[in-house]
Structure 1
Amino acid sequence: MTINCKGQLIDFSIPKVMGVLNITPDSFYDGGKYKDETSILNQVEHMLAEGATFIDVGAYSSRPNAEYVSEDEELSRILPIVELILKRFPEALISIDTFRSTVAKKCIETGATLINDISAGQLDENMMPTIAELQVPYIMMHMRGTPQTMQSLTDYEDLTKEVLFYFSERIRVARDLGIVDVIIDPGFGFAKTLEQNFELLNQLELFKMIEKPLLAGVSRKSMIYKTLETSAQEALNGTSVLNTIALQKGASILRVHDVKEAVECVKLVEALNQ
């Protein structure tokens, strides 16, 4: 499987790593950590040097019960950062973590490469038509409700079956609009209980039937640190364990805070597969 990023074909025969750059003050792990130009550029350089294929930039925290951020505020946070990164690293493939079509469009016009939408177009009816117009790769995630309401929406009869159906419906909409490159993200931690997150990971190989690149985002999430009774800061080892399982079950992209360790997971699983 491949996707077209600015004319460059990204081949997922070997899984790729997406490094997370949160520029929000309230993200669950690194909120407020990257708030000046030097710290941002140092972190991007660090992630690229360690082997990140993509840098995922987010200006609206999607953690449970996250504070609402206006569209103007999101734009004022994110556009200067996209410009800053591309001025220093013009070849960087920047993913924009947003569910707003206006933010997506302006970031792509500024030089970003792909859009990572936690709502798969359900929080902004103009998102998918905008992606179709821009013809950029689109990551669609499974979620119910909003970041403010999602943790009360965890009543599933058959979680994996319902998530698979969700993607089949959203991919059909994307296909009808002419969107070519779609990546799916099951949405660990989004409208799912601790037990449901592990149920989904346990059945992750079933998502191969969709025949789209699969993104796994478990990095330092509560499914790890609550199970281990630690904290997000102490969840790197657990992240590596679950990333390894995700790779063995077919993940094409690992979205992570710690690039070096994720790249090592990929190399070791690839060696095992050979």
Structure 2
Amino acid sequence: MLERSFVLLPLCEILPPTFIHPVTAEPVHDHLKQLVTGTRQVDPNVQTSIDLVNLVPLVDNSKEFRYIEYDLFNNKSKTQLMSILNVTPDSFSDGHSSNLIVENVMKKIDNMITNGVDIIDIGGCSTRPNSEQPSEEEELSRVLPVIKAARAKYPSSDDILISIDTYRSRVAEESIKAGADIINDVSAGLFDEKMYDVVTKYGTPYIINHLRGDISTMSKLTTYKETKDNDLQVFTKANNQPAMLINEVSKELCQCISKMTEKGVRRWQIILDPGLGFAKNLDQNLDIIRELPLLKKYNQLNTATGEFLSFEHIPLLLGPSRKRFIGKITGKDVASDRINGTSAAVTACIGYGSDIVRIHDYKEMKDACLMADAIYKGIR
């Protein structure tokens, strides 16, 4: 066991760093570190390589095992480019009535695929602060025709991965039935806990975004203070304000994860999004990007229940695209003028550890991803 990373790493995802191996009297986490750092040499007859990849399973419509692959062990996976496709008239940077015409949307999809986008994130409901929310029926009428048309032309996930950007469980379920591969829930189930039932039923990848409050109140909920919980042991010490912010965001995400795992959502379905621009001010957005390595190492143990939750080796998504904090820093009031600022932010997100970036300007951000992967991951 101690010479097999494929045994130790899954164990370290469910056992806290304080768990002691009953024979060696050393923490199991230390044994994994010994393999990773090379202080413990592995007999090649036992395991030829310690390297591992994470597989996030996709919905099994073809009776074949399909998945998204991430090399989170060595950080050697190509950054995935998720392109935003708003089927809305009122989104903050590209809302227009023409977005509701399927033929127009299909031209955008064709262009996205031609330019090497990995995931198309289709949304029929604007989540900008204080935006008016359409009815569930209106949201369905916007997204389903687009998903069906896209899947008719591009039937396989090998052609393109389709994500549905929604916080409503019925919209998520109908979109999966129509051909969507991924659920991207801006509320992580806080707006509709039936979402967990849908994610469990279909086994889809589930992107969970951190926010507070709701669409109308989240921009006012940017005060983060260190919470005290006698039953919660956090293994990342908050020695400064940015670290405290990361810990509090992580704790709140863990509250959602605890609820969804009770409903049957599996750890390997989860993709984390710390929620840039959602209940975060300018400095907090910058702190989250800088402190991504801390977020990726977050671990907590509930000493009362024994529940251990770890963010290690979970894919991470960030969406800085055209956000207001970029506009404030660069002096660009018009969202569509923030391409250069977005490119810099995307490069930083990748450098600090993001596995997926969610963007509007896919042509320009494709180049940013290629350069960042070459510089920070040695991939070219």
Structure 2 counterpart of 1:250, from 353, 366, 376: 353
1:120 is aligned to: 188
TM-score (norm 1): 0.95
Contact 2:87–2:123 (8 Å) recurs in 1: yes
In structure 1, the residue matched to 2:10 is none
Opposite residue 148 of structure 1, the aligned amino acid is: S
Question: Within 5 A, what are the aligned runs for 1:73-112?
Answer: 73-91=138-156, 92-112=160-180
Number of aligned residue pairs: give it: 274
Looking at both structures, which has the greater relative contact order when contacts are Cα pairs under 8 Å and sequence separation is at least 6? 1
Contact 1:114 1:136 in 2 (8 A): yes
RMSD of the alignment, in Å? 1.4
**1:56 matched residue in structure 2:** 121
Note the 1:1-274 alignment, pairs <5 A. 1-6=54-59, 7-12=65-70, 13-32=77-96, 33-91=98-156, 92-157=160-225, 158-180=244-266, 181-209=269-297, 210-211=311-312, 212-230=314-332, 231-272=334-375, 273-274=377-378
Moved more, 21-30 or 156-165: 156-165
Deviation string 1:87-143 (CA, Å, 9 cap, x unpaired) is 122223210011111111111011111100011001012111221111111000000
Structure 1: stretches of 5+ with no match in the other structure:
none
**Match of 2:222, SS?**
coil
| Higher percent of residues as helix | 1
Decide which moves more: 233-242 or 159-168: 159-168
Code of the aligned partner of 1:63: R
Matched AA of 1:10: I
Q: Greater CA deviation, 163-172 or 117-126?
A: 163-172
Q: Mind listing any 5+ residue stretches in structure 2 that lack a counterpart?
A: 1-53, 60-64, 71-76, 226-243, 298-310
| Cα distance in 1, alignment partners of residues 178 and 360 from structure 2 | 24
| Counterparts of 2:216 and 2:254, CA distance in 1 | 25
Deviations 1:147-185 (A, max 9, x none): 111111111113211111122232233333332310010
Amino acid aligned to 2:180: A
Q: 1:186, CA displacement in angstroms?
A: 0.7
Separation of aligned partners in 1, 2:346 and 2:84: 15
Partner secondary structure for residue 34 of structure 1? helix
Deviation of the 1:198 alpha carbon = 1.2
8 Å contact kept, 1:142–1:163: yes
* Alignment TM-score, normalising by the size of structure 2: 0.70
Higher mean alpha-carbon deviation, 126-135 vs 263-272, is at 263-272
Distance 2:284 2:373 in 1: 28
- Name the aligned partner's letter for residue 257 of structure 1: H
Give the counterpart letter for 1:84 in structure 2.
A
Q: Which residue does 2:232 correspond to in 1? A: none
Give distance in 2, aligned partners of 1:143 and 1:160: 13
- Which amino acid letter does the alignment assign opposite residue 3 of structure 1? V
CA contact (8 A) 1:215 1:253 kept: yes
Could you tell me how far apart the structure 2 residues matched to 1:174 and 1:265 are?
35
Separation in 1, partners of 2:328, 2:373: 29
How far is the alpha carbon of 1:252 from its aligned partner? 0.6
Q: Distance in 2 between matches of 1:84 and 1:220?
A: 28
Structure with larger Rg: 2
Distance 1:8 1:54 in 2: 15
**Following the alignment from structure 1 to structure 2, what is the Cα–Cα distance between the partners of residues 168 and 249?**
21
Give aligned-pair identity as a percent: 39
The amino acid across from 1:222 in the alignment is R
